Structure 1
Amino acid sequence: MIASPVYRVTRKPPSVLAVLLRRRAAKDAESLVLRHENAVPRRQLANPVRYEPADRI
């Protein structure tokens, strides 16, 4: 039980620092990859993909 909050507290600062130090080109490339990952299910599914508010965060 206590391992999960401890893990979250120790894992977040390095990831936030990594995001802040990334170059703009790397951020743009990641955005393109994520957009493609979202576009694939939209093309393959008959019904539109419905995201929950938590998914959008």
Structure 2
Amino acid sequence: MGLRDRAILEVYYTTGIRFSELAQLDLADIDFAEQVITIRKGKGSLDRKVQIAPRTLE
């Protein structure tokens, strides 16, 4: 498995975000300093933030 695919699966598994939310992620949505991902226009067209597990950032 390549690095990109592993990163995608790790984010999907550890954050619990929906596949459609994952597919719409942009690099700008990831705040590495705060360790959060901003989900834009998620369920109900609401924005939300989810925590990134430290092992995911490795």
TM-based fold match above 0.5: no
TM-score by length of 1: 0.30
TM-score (ref. length: structure 2): 0.30
Bigger strand fraction: 2
Q: Which has the higher contact order (CA 8 A, sep 6+)?
A: 2
Name which one, 1 or 2, has greater alpha-carbon Rg: 1
